[in-house]
Structure 1
Amino acid sequence: MIPFEELDFEDKQVLLRVDFNVPLENKKVTNDFRIRQTAPTIHKILDKGGSIILVTHIGRPKEGAEDLNLSTSTLIPTLEKTLGLPVKFKKNWIDGVRINKGEVLLCENVRFLKGETSNDSQLAKKMSKLCDIFINEAFSNSHRAHASNYGVAQFAQAKVAGPLFLSEVQALYKVVKKNESPTVAIVGGSKISTKTALIKNLSKQVDHLILGGGIANLIIKARGHQIGKSLFEKGAYEDACRLFKDIDNIVFPIDVVCASEFSKTAIGTIRPLNEIRENDLILDFGPKTLKKIVSKIQSAKTILWNGPIGVFEFDNFANGTRTIAETIAESSAFSVAGGGDTIASIEKFNVSDKISYISTAGGAFLEFLEGKKSPVISILEEN
């Protein structure tokens, strides 16, 4: 694979696979984080004399069918504002696109094309003929072999992982393979079934494992404590008991913050684990647990964060996630954070510029940390 910095972009047409699968509300972008992350790559290509065809997906439309609510045309205002330059749009692009030097063109949602998610080779060949160079900046989609990220790389004249893609891989590799001890991993979320492989792998890689959210509730229950009406994944209880039995580096909670209802106006009550009541909902960690967690984070040299530990959307139950965010921000450790809710909490507590690396990926982030090999990384590594 040719390094991005060594490529000659002069008068070259670049097919840039990005992940602009951003949240929309009334056809307007509500969070432009992924677009902002990719902007430097776009400017580098243009500054070196290239032109760019942007390919992305939004949502999960039925393959081969158009959904106007998921049209990438809705991204144009945000994209132009972020880049500070005009962006063209092309609805029917797969059979040919030619743009002038210095121009940027956004294609219609690639998942409107039949054969995209099934990695149809004929579709991938058509994509490869649109460009002189294929660059992948969509690490967040690299755990799936689709026509626009895997297939096109098989047939393109030149294929490259972009700077953002590489920085994601390098940051995650540094956390799980070349981490400096002590290492702390914080994993939150509602379902343990989606993160069992992650927890297993991380438990072998890190010194301290902090689990939050519904996963923490399951730990508390597995240890024989009452959790009241708290969220937990019932079907995963027995598997969780076996999993936790084999892991000895979990930072176990001491106290929690409970409420009688799931509401932003609910009043929280701090309870030790042995005083959780039948009708309680566990919505955050208590001060003694947080003191224990803060101590681990402050002594860490490497920190990984995926998932909030409480209902941070409600101010009355945001203290745990806020404390973790601010403690990581104040730390001199190398820190990596990823996942949609994690990024939302980082932005809410204004610590984005104090985290060493924030990953734009979701599923790809988790699968890399689970130790799985990405098909897209494999194809990009081939000469």
Structure 2
Amino acid sequence: MLNKKTVDDIKVKGKKVLVRCDFNVPLQDGKITDENRIVQALPTIKKLINDGGKLILCSHLGKPNGSPVAEMSLKPVAIRLAELLGQQVVFAADDSVVGENAKEAVANMKDGDVVLLENTRYRSEETKNEEAFSKDLASICDVFVNDAFGTAHRAHCSNVGVTSFVDTNVVGYLMKKEIDFLGNAVNDPEKPFVAILGGSKVSSKISVINNLLDKVDALIIGGGMAYTFMKSRGEEIGNSLLEEDYIEYAKEMLEKAEEKGVKLLIPIDTVAAKSFSNDAEYKTVGIG
């Protein structure tokens, strides 16, 4: 269970509250095609509004690589969020994220107001967790709330660095829900206990795989990382994603799973194409 303070444990009336949300939603022609992540953030946002906080929301969207990309602006999110909340959401259109527009918007806030900052990844410091941007974010708030579970594994300015410069740091409802669920699932799971891992890299999940093999009845490996496991078994993977330095590790994990009686399952077929593009011709082929 979560042992960190949540938004239920603090008083925010009259205070500037920076909330790290996960608004990394898919866009097509400037329109949001799946608003689920925005909807998931609403309970925390509404709680803080009702408690009289001055909400400053921040998030990344896509991978603009440290410079402004118009197609990755959070403006469409601000528009949709305002509709869902039934109140104005001021969009601070600053390429530097915490620039003059943002500072002016924050200075003019009243209790219950909402401001959304521009894409945090417009700043190159964000993904490097550099102090300058962390301090910029901290300078406009009294309280920090992390409600972006989807980015919790990354040490960035907007979810980790900023906490060093803000005295009050808590988590939101979505973060609490996900942590509680994972805690219960891992510490007291119902049997049979099956875990599914995906993503592109084996290297970023070494400790997770090691720990899970001591707890699960079966471990299913999917995503790009599965190709490293396939290669470790001597299977052909063409030009698919491969971490050569972790082939031996994958082989060791397969052996460990067998020793423990854990079923470690990897795909038996894959979608193959000559290029990685939306219009590429593809087919499903067996592995091995």
Q: Please classify the TM superposition score into its range, dividing by the shorter chain length.
A: 0.7 to 0.9
Checking the alignment, whether the CA contact within 8 Å between 1:186 and 1:212 is kept in structure 2 is yes
Change (3 A) 1:210 1:122: closer
The gaps in structure 2 that reach 5 residues or longer are 275-279
Q: SS where residue 131 of structure 1 aligns?
A: coil
Task: Select the residue among 253, 268, 275 that pairs with 1:243.
Answer: 253
Distance across 1 between alignment mates of 2:126 and 2:175: 21
Corresponding residue of 1:34: 37
Change (3 A) 1:118 1:227: closer
Task: Select the residue among 88, 91, 102 that pairs with 2:112.
Answer: 102
Q: SS where residue 83 of structure 2 aligns?
A: helix
Task: Select the residue among 62, 79, 82 that pairs with 2:81.
Answer: 79
Checking the alignment, whether the CA contact within 8 Å between 1:133 and 1:157 is kept in structure 2 is yes
Checking the alignment, whether the CA contact within 8 Å between 1:14 and 1:132 is kept in structure 2 is yes
2:136 aligned partner, one-letter code:
K
1:90 aligned partner, one-letter code:
A
Change (3 A) 1:162 1:258: closer
Task: Select the residue among 27, 32, 55 that pairs with 2:58.
Answer: 55
Corresponding residue of 1:116: 126
2:158 aligned partner, one-letter code:
S
Distance across 2 between alignment mates of 1:23 and 1:250: 37
Distance across 2 between alignment mates of 1:153 and 1:218: 36
The gaps in structure 1 that reach 5 residues or longer are 269-280, 284-383
Checking the alignment, whether the CA contact within 8 Å between 2:22 and 2:37 is kept in structure 1 is yes
1:50 aligned partner, one-letter code:
G
Distance across 1 between alignment mates of 2:5 and 2:237: 56
Checking the alignment, whether the CA contact within 8 Å between 2:273 and 2:281 is kept in structure 1 is no
Checking the alignment, whether the CA contact within 8 Å between 1:124 and 1:155 is kept in structure 2 is yes
TM-score computed with the length of structure 2 as normaliser: 0.75
Q: SS where residue 57 of structure 2 aligns?
A: strand
Task: Select the residue among 259, 263, 286 that pairs with 1:282.
Answer: 286
Q: SS where residue 44 of structure 1 aligns?
A: helix
Q: Work out the percentage of aligned pairs sharing the same amino acid.
A: 34
Corresponding residue of 2:211: 201
Please give the per-residue CA displacement for 1:325-345, whole angstroms capped at 9, x wherever unaligned: xxxxxxxxxxxxxxxxxxxxx
1:203 shift after superposition: 0.9
Change (3 A) 1:16 1:217: closer
Please give the per-residue CA displacement for 1:240-260, whole angstroms capped at 9, x wherever unaligned: 33321221234377x967999
1:166 aligned partner, one-letter code:
K
Checking the alignment, whether the CA contact within 8 Å between 2:227 and 2:237 is kept in structure 1 is no
Task: Select the residue among 156, 163, 171 that pairs with 2:173.
Answer: 163
Q: SS where residue 117 of structure 1 aligns?
A: helix
Checking the alignment, whether the CA contact within 8 Å between 1:9 and 1:50 is kept in structure 2 is yes
Checking the alignment, whether the CA contact within 8 Å between 2:219 and 2:262 is kept in structure 1 is yes
Task: Select the residue among 167, 187, 192 that pairs with 2:197.
Answer: 187
Corresponding residue of 1:271: none
Distance across 2 between alignment mates of 1:125 and 1:204: 41
1:173 shift after superposition: 2.0
1:30 shift after superposition: 1.9
Worse-superposed segment, 13-22 or 239-248: 239-248
1:25 shift after superposition: 1.8
2:286 aligned partner, one-letter code:
I
1:251 aligned partner, one-letter code:
K
TM-score computed with the length of structure 1 as normaliser: 0.58
2:49 aligned partner, one-letter code:
L
Change (3 A) 1:110 1:216: closer
Change (3 A) 1:251 1:230: farther
Checking the alignment, whether the CA contact within 8 Å between 2:201 and 2:243 is kept in structure 1 is no
Change (3 A) 1:241 1:27: same
Corresponding residue of 1:67: 69
Distance across 1 between alignment mates of 2:270 and 2:129: 48
